[in-house]
Structure 1
């Protein structure tokens, strides 16, 4: 029986729920992205969390390559206003850039990063089915566009394209995680 790595399990889950190709291309995860809403639950590759319990920014942890590396975290909803009618794909919920790495697996210093878009908790319209809330972690490279990562986005949150934003900023995708939430 072949052994399945956590990287393979992550990519398989992302494909199964359409995150690959709806938001990102295939990639090889380099870190485990741990997202916790405290007592309201931990994000676990497609589990369901209550909308009410996800209204405050979560705790985020990951294992960086080096303590000197910088990272960007994006939270996006590709199902706005619904998965059957995603005319506002993607809805930008949160972007924090210039997150410093640390030497061990500890909560990252998001508060010391640059807030590009303030956190907005999930608010799927009633009756639109489950929405995917996707967290993407990118490593900033030596050629990253620091200006793009340091300027707050003031445009509408709907119609955001993580793939385009990260290509323009020259970022490398290193981790992903997601959950479902729904207002019935």
Structure 2
């Protein structure tokens, strides 16, 4: 449920010495042909997200109650040439700027990240907690 995944999770993956990684959490079920970026960090040394550059701070799951369960996907890409020379504007810590309609596949292609290095997924169905969160965001429950 969204309540059980409201806090930023601890994530880990196998690492290679000296490598940098990109981590993305997305909801591919956010709307018709739309992804919603919940978390995005680049230039991560090993799997220490706090040492990377945050492009979007963690935002918990809050699918609408009427929707089928949403998939929340964690993807890790090994950056092929060390640090990314990117032109992305970080999303503000609060709010939605830069989050809706994000396309993981296009980001990976733009920066030649190749196929995901690691990943995971969970499902969440809207509940009373997600309705509270959505009300705070000013969007329909």
**Range class of TM-score, shorter chain:** 0.7 to 0.9
- What's the C-alpha RMSD, in Å, of the aligned pairs? 1.9
User: Is 2:69–2:124's contact at 8 Å kept on the other side of the alignment?
Assistant: yes
- After superposition, the Cα gap between the structure-2 partners of 1:176 and 1:60, relative to the gap in structure 1 and judged at 3 Å, is same
Partner of 2:79: 140
The 4+ residue runs of structure 1 with deviation greater than 4 A are none
Partner of 2:10: 59
Structure 2 unaligned blocks of 5 or more? 128-141
Partner of 2:106: 164
- Alignment of 1:152 onto 2:90: yes
> TM-score w.r.t. structure 1 length?
0.61
Cα offset for 1:59? 0.4
Higher RCO (CA-CA < 8 Å; seq separation 6+): 2
Partner of 1:99: 44
- After superposition, the Cα gap between the structure-2 partners of 1:143 and 1:100, relative to the gap in structure 1 and judged at 3 Å, is closer
Structure 1 unaligned blocks of 5 or more? 1-49, 102-107
Q: Per the alignment, in what secondary structure is the counterpart of residue 60 of structure 2?
A: coil
Q: Per the alignment, in what secondary structure is the counterpart of residue 29 of structure 2?
A: coil
> TM-score w.r.t. structure 2 length?
0.78
